[in-house]
Amino acid sequence: MKLSVLDQSMARDYDHAQLALSETIEMAKWCEQLGYERFWISEHHGFPTVAGSAPEVLLAALGAATQHIRLGSGGIMLPHYSAYKVAEVFSLLGNLYPDRIDLGVGRAPGTDMATAMALATDGQPKFSRFPQLVDELMSFLGSEKSDPLVSPKPPERLPIWMLGSSPDSAKLAAEKGLPYNLAAFINPQVQPEFIEFYKNQFKSSSYLESPYACLTVSVFCHDDEEYAHLMKKTFDVNFYRFITGQSGGRFLMPEQVKDYLVTPELAQFMQSRDLYRAVGTQKQVMEKLHFIRETFALDEIMVVSNCYYLEDRKRCFELLIEAGK
């Protein structure tokens, strides 16, 4: 089973960004040591507990801290930016770290609309132009004679990935001939039909001859099954508190969540996210991941594990790769 990692640079509160970023760098080195396929980072804006707002900057630091693991953006939210600028940034990264950089792009804002408007140079996010921006990006990175010229010269092999959580992204990935990463950890209601459609409708391109599908799932794995479920509950409670405006920009610790009152609303929220995520011991989690891989007919699984403590994240990924080899 091909296993990769998505890291979201989760901060315990607004004042802990330095710690969150240092932990992301440590996790990249740890995942390289363990033998994971690739290590991606996300892009979010205006979140008090997410430090990863500029993946292109963080990728440069990760490249300097590692030796051979593939690094990528999961992803660059293209409607916020000029396709030309993104092409130059990733061409530079690809020249700094040859054959190690993946460029994942997505349409979602990665934030609220007020922040999305602030990110846009003219106050107007370009979500409707996303397919055109992808075309421009592919042209800039796939041609030696682009107009205007991309500098430095793009590497010959710089994969562009389509990211998404809906049938629209599957359709676009198939049309453009790009590898596809479906985010089950964002949309827990994703369906295997999304991947099936992508593979059936795929049109080969200069970037990819045949379809390649990856699913990103949330995982909480530990030697102790009860503690694995506490790690999951900790994340769910903190995420629920955030989206309902109760968090105050601060995460609760597992010790605080252990006896946290689970209301019917919270219980329904937690249950709604369980279908395609894996929680429990090494054996239980790997059984679920194998089920997910077969259900979606995947070429690769990417895992995200937003455990509160760094050591829990490290142990989680250690258990997974031990069983996956």
Domain borders along the chain are 3-324
Burial class (CB in 10 A: 0-12, 13-18, 19+), 76: buried
Q: What is the pLDDT of residues 84-124, one digit of tens each?
A: 999 999 999 999 999 999 999 999 888 888 888 898 888 88
What average pLDDT does range 191-219 have in this prediction? Answer: 97
What average pLDDT does range 233-253 have in this prediction? Answer: 93
CA distance 198 to 271: 28
pLDDT at residue 192 is higher than 90: yes
What average pLDDT does range 30-36 have in this prediction? Answer: 98
Q: What is the pLDDT of residues 138-159, one digit of tens each?
A: 999 987 678 899 999 999 889 9
CA distance 251 to 241: 9
Q: Which residue's entry shows tokens 């929680």?
A: 279
3-324 domain in CATH 3.20.20.30? yes
**Whether 120 contacts 77, CB under 8 Å:** no
- The DSSP call for residue 212 is -
**Whether 214 contacts 299, CB under 8 Å:** yes
